[in-house]
Structure 1
């Protein structure tokens, strides 16, 4: 369950101008979370960075937790869109190339959205919906079946679950590492993913 403060309903934008204002608030929140961390971030700093009044910010987001959760939902949707593109490309890739594309997708996303690391390490009481988790597994399963048409849906979803755990294992290590160590970590996790997928997809 989320804290009561996260349950407070927030105003939804009704017009394009309102949608643009909300987008600016979310971008500002991402910047403040990245610079200050979630705990030290304030609604005042977010309002100032988004060039909004504090009252306008509170109209759309009753507290910084609702901002953080909205960002997590936004990031999940953006990641799903990138996975959809990879599904379309997967049939023409061998396993090492597929693993490379997967990590390129992940690392590119993390580098473009550094607030993701802050939110990942913050205690938000956040849990993705079952539908969102299932969609990611289904997308990965579709990638595996494109690579190995003989693989059934049940097997592909099981394999997708394990592969996704390998990939997610990189996140906390990557967040704490310097630039040189990050490159080495990515290389190690690619080796682990390739080794696993080559065994499971061998026919």
Structure 2
């Protein structure tokens, strides 16, 4: 048998197929929840959106709560990747620019993933590990220590935690305000974050 024919008949590893099915299910859940809301969305609709049987969906997620938690965790991981990429390119950016980019990054993510607001408002708990949360804080802390060498590691971690709390707090404001007011509030949150970072990092 030719190598080309062998390649064409090779089966995709079971784990890889399973991961792709989960990705499909999560994408379908995001689409349905984003359109209908968490409470109104049903497992039947999500299965149909994923183009698979309801039985197949239940094999991976026993109920909607489990599916919502997995989707929230996936969103958190994606946000971590985006924030980490921003940290790597932040360099000596002015504080106002860094703060603006942090707020804009979250805003764009929420606009691209409307299901996130429903998950956030419903306080869906993510099964994301504490280790992953700490890793993101550590990356921000490392950046802040470069900007303010006199900061201790513990101090930098606290600054990172407060900065991320301010950024994530923007999600609640975004969800509770009409579209016309969001831009103005986004600027206010950016001002608050800039002031905090300048106070802690530029006056050491």
Q: RMSD value over aligned CA atoms? A: 1.8
The alignment's TM-score, normalised by the length of structure 1, stands at: 0.86
Aligned pair in 2 of structure 1 residues 165, 51: CA closer, same or farther (>3 Å)?
A: same
SS in structure 1 opposite 2:38? coil
**Gapped runs of 5+ residues in structure 2?**
1-12
**Equivalenced residues, count:** 191
**1:83-117: CA deviations, max 9, x gaps?**
22112112231111111111121112111111111
Q: Which residue of 2 aligns with 1:108?
A: 108
1:57-96 to structure 2, matched below 5 A, reads 57-96=57-96
1:35-184 to structure 2, matched below 5 A, reads 35-126=35-126, 128-184=128-184
Q: Which residue of 1 aligns with 2:201?
A: 201
Aligned-partner Cα distance in 1 for 2:25–2:130:
28
Which structure has the larger Rg? Answer: 2
Aligned-partner Cα distance in 2 for 1:46–1:123:
20
Q: Which residue of 2 aligns with 1:5?
A: none
Aligned pair in 2 of structure 1 residues 133, 18: CA closer, same or farther (>3 Å)?
A: closer
Per mean C-alpha deviation after superposition, the further-off stretch among 87-96 and 121-130 is 121-130
SS in structure 2 opposite 1:92? coil
State whether residues 166 and 193 of structure 1, in contact with CA within 8 Å, keep that contact through their aligned partners in structure 2.
yes
SS in structure 2 opposite 1:169? helix
SS in structure 2 opposite 1:144? helix
State whether residues 90 and 146 of structure 1, in contact with CA within 8 Å, keep that contact through their aligned partners in structure 2.
no
Aligned pair in 2 of structure 1 residues 103, 124: CA closer, same or farther (>3 Å)?
A: closer
Aligned-partner Cα distance in 2 for 1:148–1:41:
47
The alignment's TM-score, normalised by the length of structure 2, stands at: 0.86
- Return the offset for 1:53: 0.8
